Amino acid sequence: MSLVVTGASGHLGRLVVEQLLTHGTPAADIVATTRTPETLSDLAARGVDVRAADFNDPESLKEAFAGASRILLISTTDPDRLSGQRNAVEAAREAGVDLLAYTSITRADTSSLLLAGDHRETEKLIEESGLTYAFLRNSWYFENYTEQLAPALEHKAVLGSAGEGRVSAAARADYAAAAAVVLAGEVTGNQVLELGGDTAFTLTEYAAALSEATGETITYVDQPVEQYAAFLASVGVPAPMDTVLADADRGLSRGELLSDSGTLSDLIGRPTTKLEDAIRAAL
């Protein structure tokens, strides 16, 4: 059985490969694809089959997916990712894989988030391919916040446009563990999995958790969406990502990144990582 993980040089992809290895998948059964194979030399040294693949190069995808039984298609950060992901779905269809798993976003089919548009269209492409699929509809990552601790600690403030909306964030490692379970597990027909952390929180509660962990008084400052987008642009977030991220907070305020299904912890066989633990680890 050949399990393909795309984007394996990225944060999530590498964690998925590590999870597969940790839980007994033979290295020779894992294909790790990336545009930069040299960055995965350590995995190659452990016996993982590292292959070059570029979503904008259909021929490279055909070669990378050759012989694949199951593929985990990790959504890209390319501004024109839908075009590349269309190529990946077509290559998976031509390869005749048993399962195509795709990392999507919470309630992609109904979400009003700008970020959800490409996910919704990619899900539609996968449905139309005729392949058996699993949609891993991930909520937010803790790392979306904890990787931005420096400015929050410097200015004693967390900025956003989320109001008192709750987000079901979880650790990237939690989502990676779930993806590995789905990829290496038994295929039981098409699956739509809404995934999120066990305990949702507001950004006010996130600021309070930061205060508790650091001994500093850190507050949440809520801003209008347009003002928050302008702030993101002022600190170097490029367009249109500044608008997309501010819009995500708008969706968060409406509960569009909230998932109380419990499916994530069920899949990984343990409670999801606690916010307090994620903050301590980041600090």
Could you identify the residue written with the tokens 């501004």? 79
Record the tokens describing residue 252, joined without a space. Answer: 């968060």
As given in the structure block, the two tokens for residue 68 are: 């694949």
Report the distance separating Cα 50 and Cα 243, nearest Å: 36
Bridge partners of 5, per DSSP, are 32, 72
State the pLDDT at residue 79: 67
Instruction: Report if residue 135 sits inside a domain.
Output: yes
Whether 228 maps to a domain, the answer reads no
Residues 192-240 have pLDDT tens digits of 999 999 999 999 999 999 999 999 999 999 999 999 999 999 988 898 9
Q: What is the pLDDT at residue 187?
A: 75
Residue 218 within any structural domain of the chain = no
Q: Give 39-86 pLDDT, tens digit per residue.
A: 999 999 999 999 999 999 999 999 999 999 999 999 988 767 899 999
pLDDT at 184 over 80: yes
- CA 92 – CA 257 distance, rounded (Å): 29
Which pLDDT belongs to residue 80? 78
**Cα separation, 8 vs 261, whole angstroms:** 28
Q: Taking residues 253-276, what's their average pLDDT?
A: 96
Widest CA span in the chain: 56
Give the mean pLDDT of 156-164: 97
Residue 67 inside a domain? The answer is yes
Q: Do the domain assignments include residue 215?
A: no
What would the pLDDT profile of 2-33 be if each residue is shown by its tens digit?
Answer: 999 999 999 999 999 999 999 999 999 999 99
Find the domain containing 177 and state its range. 3-139+171-195+261-273
Decide if pLDDT at 141 tops 90: yes
CA-to-CA distance for 143 and 75, rounded, in angstroms?
A: 17
CATH number for the domain that contains residue 86:
3.40.50.720
Answer yes or no: is 73 within a domain: yes
pTM, two decimals, is 0.97
Q: Is residue 191 part of a domain?
A: yes
